[in-house]
Structure 1
């Protein structure tokens, strides 16, 4: 009895379509609408494909996908482009973390200064916050 071929996960198929579209557009990039048109995928499927490419690309040492407002998503061979993108991502994470600390954790500590968990979280996140701040410079 022949073995049934296992279906590939959808995210992998979406990722393949997005990768081919971006490779064909090189060195230019494609915004989300252009990727939707080029791949015949929905916006959600394009997003899942990009996410899959980022996960797989890192594992397979491929050129990273970056995003720029003026170019959209693209593969760049320039380390300076990667660094610029990474710094922007760290700024986003730093902003979210800062809002969580000032909007939730600080008021928690103000009301319950002896709360062991809040003290631990504050101590750990202070270091993370400082590290992210350095990485964005």
Structure 2
């Protein structure tokens, strides 16, 4: 009986992890990953996503991304916090646009709409929390 095939993302992660470990303490940009693994950029991204999922489940060193370094493993909590704050800022920007570009016009046309009022009230609280986390 033939062995069970590994899921595709796991396979990509298996190619991405050694390349990333070899690059330590520096990181790899996508084009460097492509050269090191011979994967196309979308498969590199799937491999990184898989490693992030596995890393979180197994409490391993997280993968971060910085413009100057690319993807990297870092053992420094300050690096993780910097990356996390950046992620919160991205989410905050998206959430703010949902409020100002979608919900506010909705409420301008239908100010009594209970659902839109509830959504805005809840999301304003989330926005305040994300704002604090991005600055902390």
- Smaller-chain TM-score range? over 0.9
Q: 2: CA distance between counterparts of 1:93 and 1:40?
A: 32
Q: SS of the counterpart of 1:62? A: coil
Q: 2: CA distance between counterparts of 1:101 and 1:74?
A: 34
Following superposition, the deviation at residue 67 of structure 1 comes to 0.4
- 1:133 aligned to 2:131? yes
Unaligned runs of 5+ in 2: none
Query: How many residue pairs end up in the alignment?
Result: 135
Dislocated runs of 4+, deviation >3 Å: none
Q: Deviations over 1:74-119 (max 9, x none)?
A: 0000000000000001000000110111001011011111111101
TM-score, reference length from structure 1? 0.96
The Cα RMSD (Å) is 0.8
| Alignment map for 1:1-137 (pairs within 5 Å) | 2=1, 4-137=2-135
Q: 2: CA distance between counterparts of 1:112 and 1:53?
A: 45
TM-score, reference length from structure 2? 0.96
Following superposition, the deviation at residue 5 of structure 1 comes to 2.3
